Amino acid sequence: MWRGLWTLAAQAARGPRRLCTRRSSGAAAPGSGATIFALSSGQGRCGIAVIRTSGPSSGHALRILTAARDLPPARHASLRLLSDPRSGEPLDRALVLWFPGPRSFTGEDCVEFHVHGGPAVVSGVLQALGSVPGLRPAEAGEFTRRAFANGKLNLTEVEGLADLIHAETEAQRRQALRQLDGELGHLCRGWAETLTKALAHVEAYIDFGEDDNLEEGVLEQGGSTWWGRKTPISPQRLPSLSLFACLLSPTADIEVRALEVALGAHLRDARRGQRLRSGAHVVVTGPPNAGKSSLVNLLSRKPVSIVSPEPGTTRDVLETPVDLAGFPVLLSDTAGLREGVGPVEQEGVRRARERLEQADLILAMLDASDLASPSSCNFLATVVASVGAQSPSDSSQRLLLVLNKSDLLSPEGPGPRPDLPPHLLLSCLTGEGLDGLLEALRKELAAVCGDPSTGSPLLTRARHQHHLQGCLDALSHYKPSKDLALAAEALRVARGHLTRLTGGGGTEEILDIIFRDFCVGK
């Protein structure tokens, strides 16, 4: 139905559909002449629906639909009767808000119509807007693209807005909000400023060092000491030198090397930001009948897997997305690990071992009442011991050992096992120990995905890592002691990567990929 309403609105728009003029950045150019409109709230019946416009004809459209001579006060809600400009028929009594540019989301004149959310009302208002000269339906993400083109948002903030709209967990929401607030963009701009100052040092030495006998050591000393000279400076060069004096940092070489360290630290986050955005992979594994399927059902709060006392019930990898302690997780139930079974179950075991290698976090399960069995001992010696032997780092797999069926144990707990690694006791039947497991999962997932409420901004997209890695690679060629010209070029390339990360000089293809994730009306 809603697709049909949008088609009617598009057909009602007068004149041929016009594409936005593009700048070199690939963004819609402000002042392109077209005013766009769209339903910005969710589709479907609702109490209130929000329809908005952006462009130079927004005020004209508001006057036509409200039959008013004057526009309402800026940024104040006003109750108005909306009418069809063609027939004069009343459409709805709505709240309207007028946002004159540039103090609006897009930087252009904008109007919001808060109407009742019935399909007939929304359809009538959309068709009425489509009949106003100069208005056309918006494309997906076009409002945000205009905000980007008008400098209201940089590219990392646009990505943060998209992530905020799609956020499903608390951790995703916190991270998206930090990025929308510009933390990653501010960080990159600070790095770019450092490179600009260093480039000023190098170019000043290239331009003036040889002709004007600039003292040696300019790159190491910095500050005002390098202005000591053996011959007077020509008056024509004083403005340029004054500019360089303002940009110079205390120690150019030291700051560039410090930036390399900072870039390396961000690139060593082991894709934590991307895991936070798309979900960490948690695999539940163990011998048959350890309670793996019961735990998956318990954590996902729905019957994902069949639970049976018969060993080998699960023969394939079953996956379900869940919210664990506020973090997005792809939870996998796998076949019990054992040898000497039929070909079908053996294929399931092979797939389980393959999935184990891809896991970010392993939930290793054992039957607490059967720790001495050959299957339990073999699992401890192979899976648990091998993961525990990995050197601790952000990139290594993490493991939680869970002893299930604690309700079958005596009050003293499991039998003495001096070689048993740190573990958690749990009863999937009674739920005892579940709170402790969830708290342990929260800590492990914070290490795997990063804690969005603390620390430096996370890199949530492969594009971020690509440009930071390109910046770091360029800085590896910064060797002013060998060749100043090549050192200056290395700084320019490195600064270019940081500029493109926040949206400067972006190509059309990259911008299209980013903005197509938005719905129509955003």
Nearest alpha-carbon partner for 445 in 357, 333, 322: 322
Average pLDDT of the segment spanning 313-339: 89
Q: Which residues contact 298 (CB under 8 A, 6 or more apart)?
A: 428, 431, 434
Average confidence (pLDDT) over 485-497 = 91
- Residue 265: is its pLDDT beyond 50? yes
Q: Is residue 510 part of a domain?
A: no
Q: What percent of the chain has pLDDT over 90?
A: 47
> How far is residue 259's CA from residue 261's CA, in Å, rounded to a whole number?
5
In a domain, 515, yes or no: no
pLDDT band at 389 (very low <50, low <70, confident <90, very high): low
The lowest-confidence range among 213-222, 365-374, 436-445 is 213-222
Domain check: are 89 and 195 in the same one?
Answer: no
Task: Give me the number of domains the chain comprises.
Answer: 3
> What local confidence, expressed as pLDDT, does residue 7 receive?
44
What is the mean predicted confidence (pLDDT) over 460-484? Answer: 88
> Does residue 309 surpass a pLDDT of 50?
yes
Q: Give me the pLDDT at residue 255, please.
A: 87
Q: If pLDDT is split at 50, 70 and 90, which confidence band does 431 have?
A: very high
pTM: 0.72
pLDDT reported for residue 12: 41
* Residue 372 forms part of a structural domain: yes
Structural domain includes residue 373 = yes
Q: Say which residue, 19 or 151, is predicted with more confidence.
A: 151
Claim to verify: residue 292 and residue 254 sit in the same structural domain: no
Domain identity same for 378 and 473: no
Contact between 181 and 335 under an 8 Å Cβ cutoff? The reply is no
pLDDT at residue 314, rounded to an integer: 82
Q: Look at residue 519 and tell me whether its pLDDT is greater than 70.
A: no
65 and 169 fall within a common domain: no
Q: Residue 22: its pLDDT value, please?
A: 32
* 182 is a domain residue: yes
- Least confident range from 3-17, 20-34, 263-277, 466-480: namely 3-17
Does residue 82 fall inside a structural domain? yes
Report which of 222, 286, 218, 215 is spatially closest to residue 249, judged by C-alpha positions. Answer: 222
d(CA 73, CA 114): 16
Question: Are 334 and 432 in a shared domain?
Answer: yes
Do both 268 and 130 map to the same domain? no
What is the pLDDT of the chain when averaged over all its residues?
Answer: 81
More confident residue, 271 or 129: 129
pLDDT value, residue 305: 86
In this structure, the answer to whether residues 128 and 81 fall within a common structural domain is yes
Mean pLDDT of 97-116: 96
Query: Closest Cα to residue 427, out of 408, 414, 442, 412?
Result: 408
% residues pLDDT > 70 (the chain): 78
pLDDT at 24: 34
Who has greater pLDDT, 518 or 12?
A: 518
Lowest mean pLDDT among 351-360, 395-404, 511-520: 511-520
Q: What is the CATH number of the domain that holds 137?
A: 3.30.1360.120
pLDDT for 349 equals: 87
Strand partners, 54: 36, 110
Residues 6+ apart with CB under 8 A from 210: none
Nearest residue to 30 via CA among 60, 56, 62 = 56
> Domain check: are 200 and 335 in the same one?
no
Among residues 46, 47, 44, 96, the alpha carbon closest in space to that of 74 is found at: 96
Is residue 3 domain-resident? no
Residue 126 has pLDDT above 90, yes or no: yes
Q: Compute the Cα dihedral for 418, 420, 426, 432 and give only its sign.
A: positive
Q: Are residues 440 and 371 in the same domain?
A: yes
Q: Which residue has the higher pLDDT, 3 or 425?
A: 425
Give CA–CA dist 473/6, Å, rounded: 48
pLDDT at residue number 31:
43
Give the per-residue pLDDT at 503: 81
pLDDT (average), residues 387-396: 63
pLDDT at 239: 41
Position 16 pLDDT exceeds 60? no
Separation CA 184–CA 266 (nearest Å): 11
- Return the H-helix or E-strand segment holding 6: helix 2-12
Instruction: Between 301 and 340, name the one with better pLDDT.
Output: 301
Question: How far is it, in rounded angstroms, from Cα 137 to Cα 35?
Answer: 8
- Indicate the SS3 state at residue 335: coil
| CATH number of the domain encompassing residue 339 | 3.40.50.300
Look-up: residue for tokens 């709805």?
92
Instruction: Tell whether 297 and 444 lie within a shared domain.
Output: yes
Higher per-residue pLDDT: 223 or 288: 288
Q: Is residue 517 part of a domain?
A: no
For residue 199, pLDDT over 50 is answered with yes
pLDDT in tens, 240-256: 443 443 344 446 788 88
What per-residue confidence (pLDDT) applies to 286? 92
Mean pLDDT confidence for 220-225: 41
Mean pLDDT (whole number) for 328-338: 90
Predicted pLDDT at 251: 66
Q: Does residue 294 carry a pLDDT above 80?
A: yes
Q: Kindly state whether residues 258 and 341 are assigned to the same domain.
A: no
Task: Report the pLDDT averaged over residues 46-67.
Answer: 95
Buried/exposed code over 124-158 (b: 16+ C-beta within 10 A; e: otherwise):
bbbbbbbbbebbbbbbbbbbbbbbbbbebbbbbbb
Q: Could you tell me if 493 and 445 lie in one domain?
A: no
Range of the domain at 188: 155-207+248-278+461-502
* Of 392 and 77, more confident: 77
The whole-number pLDDT of residue 198 equals 86
Using one digit for the tens of pLDDT, what is the confidence trace for 79-104? 999 999 999 999 999 999 999 999 99
Interval 218-222 mean pLDDT: 46
Which of 83-97, 162-176, 212-226, 459-473 has the least mean pLDDT? Answer: 212-226
Give 284: exposed, middle or buried? Use CB within 10 Å, 0-12, 13-18, 19+: buried
